[in-house]
Chains A and B, each alone.
Chain A
């Protein structure tokens, strides 16, 4: 049985037309996740195609720079296509093949999930349509070209704020219309059940590997595990391996944009309220009338008005805590990590890295911080240049 609810969050708030497909997905995943054959095939592709296990890396110079806790990265940026997104897209593509659904659709924000989905679709010969907000397509033009090169059809979405929220809604509308032959590869731990649990299960490989690698390298567990949170898939994949280790702090870092005291941010857990978005009850950014608010973040992948329902529960039960890091601090962390470690983080990851710096100083020498280094930053050169141009 796959969780449908996480405390009072989760559920399935979708048109009736989709309920049969969600039931089918639930049934197929219930069987597949207990089936050694499914995992054998998945692990085969993870080894050769994704490049797993990804390394655990001691960030020596960043540790020295902050002068406090030892900082380790779980290097998801070294996954094929440059981010953790492929873990989920690959697992779901194998499920789609199991279900006999040959047409794949996806939504994308920064383009990372779209590229990951287009990549697995190329690998398995599946037709692929990716919905992307027109504004995001402009910001991440290279990723649009990558997806097209991989054979995917990219459909820009002009409605609403022309970003990830609108792309997700449009993907859901496509699914409502073509549900018979189409599987929707949702890109984060959001959406109607069973998606939040399915995506978590497929991303859990990050946390399982990291926990084992950390124990092996450091002979103990970290004091804190940190990850950035948009919808929250890399974070939930990381956290789920440590959630039973009650001495380990779990910290999700959301996009503070131009400051959470205003409205130009995307920190749904930190500053949102309970509501329904894209098929689940969670914490969302909304106005008093229940309208979904426009969001802002310099990181397209965090620019989303909701968060996965399991994060909403982890926040409410206080098992994890959530903080917001603003655009300026994320840009500074991007530069710092690139200069000191020779590793360029995705702007999403840079949000987590800023908080890791604060935390390392707070914990002091002897402390230990593990961060999910969710993606690489090459895609963000344009955004960083644009930001610095505007703030010179």
Chain B
């Protein structure tokens, strides 16, 4: 595996945003969930709400790592005919705000169908900083990672509570921008409490990388964010926001509440 460790991409250069005294909040929106125009407006609003980055989900109709809330959002977008090209346009408009980096969360097959090289070029051109691919473990990530990085786009690797020490080390070495630490053994979706073992996973990851570490899956409440202070640099909040969007509500107040959780 010939992925260089380090901060080669845009997230690397702007990665300082994820560092700070508290825990940066990284909100997640499903692109096209209730229409691309709504995603664009919400995205612009959220990047200006003091967040560390915005994660934009690319809809897929077989989202293996996602719970019912994000599955349903993806299906709504797919049924409405939302395309990857349309999602990239939204990413461009949100990134153009210059307020926070935009990271895409996508399953690998839509990227393969679009063409990895074309995807990397277009994502870079739209100002996308990084890509998270939940079904692309280290073993399968090398080729895609090097194409993305050649265009200055980071590929963020994931670590799970079930990852062996060897796998944690390999994922950290293969990651750029930041490392995404899955906090729960499971799929996306809100939980009342974070699992007890989350801090030990985060500290194992921390010991293996100088990159910022983001925690994700199951995070939805201010006390979750406070629990992560000192252990994670950033917290990704997905299903709780997607659920609000699904019900036609504005997720910005919750994001602002989470952003100030550590104040």
Contact = CB atoms under 8 A, between A and B. Distances in A.
B64 to A, nearest CB: 5
Interface in A274-313: 274-279, 286, 288-292
12 contacts: A13-B140, A14-B135, A16-B160, A16-B171, A159-B75, A177-B185, A177-B186, A276-B112, A278-B62, A290-B112, A292-B61, A292-B62
B55 to A, nearest CB: 16
B137 A12 contact: yes
A19 B163 contact: yes
A328 interface: no
Contact of A17 (B62, B108, B182): B182
Contacts of B164: 20, 23
Contacts of A18: 162
Interface stretch (A56-64, A144-152, A165-173): A165-173
B169 interface: no
B167 interface: yes
Chain B interface bracket (under 10, 10 to 19, 20 to 34, 35 or more): 35 or more
Contacts of A337: none
A160 interface: yes
Given A12-B137, A12-B140, A21 B162 contact: yes
A279 B135 contact: yes
B112 A15 contact: no
A11 interface: yes
B164 to A, nearest CB: 6
Nearest to A276: B109
A11 B138 CA distance: 11
A17 B164 CA distance: 10
A169 B64 contact: yes
A386 B75 CA distance: 30
The size bracket of the interface on A is 20 to 34
A15 B61 contact: no
Nearest to B134: A15
A19 B137 contact: yes
Interface of B: 60-65, 67-68, 71, 75, 78, 83-84, 107-114, 134-137, 139-140, 157-164, 167, 171, 182, 185-187
Interface in A253-280: 274-279
Nearest to A294: B61
Given A179-B185, A289-B84, A20 B163 contact: yes
B83 A176 contact: no
B108 A15 contact: no
Contacts of B136: 13
A16 B187 CA distance: 11
A67 interface: no
Nearest to A11: B140
Contact of A176 (B108, B109, B167, B186): B186
A223 B244 CA distance: 62
A291 B140 contact: no
A11, A277, A286, A290 pick with most chain B CB within 10 angstroms: A290
Nearest to B136: A13
B110 to A, nearest CB: 4
Contact of B109 (A12, A160, A179, A277): A277
Contacts, number: 119
Contact of B111 (A15, A176, A279, A290): A290
B167 A19 contact: yes
Given A15-B187, A16-B157, 15 more contacts: A14-B64, A15-B64, A16-B158, A16-B160, A16-B171, A20-B167, A21-B162, A159-B71, A169-B63, A274-B112, A276-B109, A276-B112, A289-B113, A290-B84, A292-B109
Contacts of A177: 185-187
A23 B163 CA distance: 11
Contacts of B83: 289
A290 B87 CA distance: 14
B41 to A, nearest CB: 24
A7 interface: no
B157 to A, nearest CB: 8
A275 B112 contact: yes
B109 A290 contact: yes
A180 interface: yes
Given A160-B75, A286-B109, A286-B113, A277 B62 contact: yes
B24 to A, nearest CB: 22
Nearest to B111: A290
A16 B112 CA distance: 19
Nearest to B63: A169
B110 A289 contact: yes
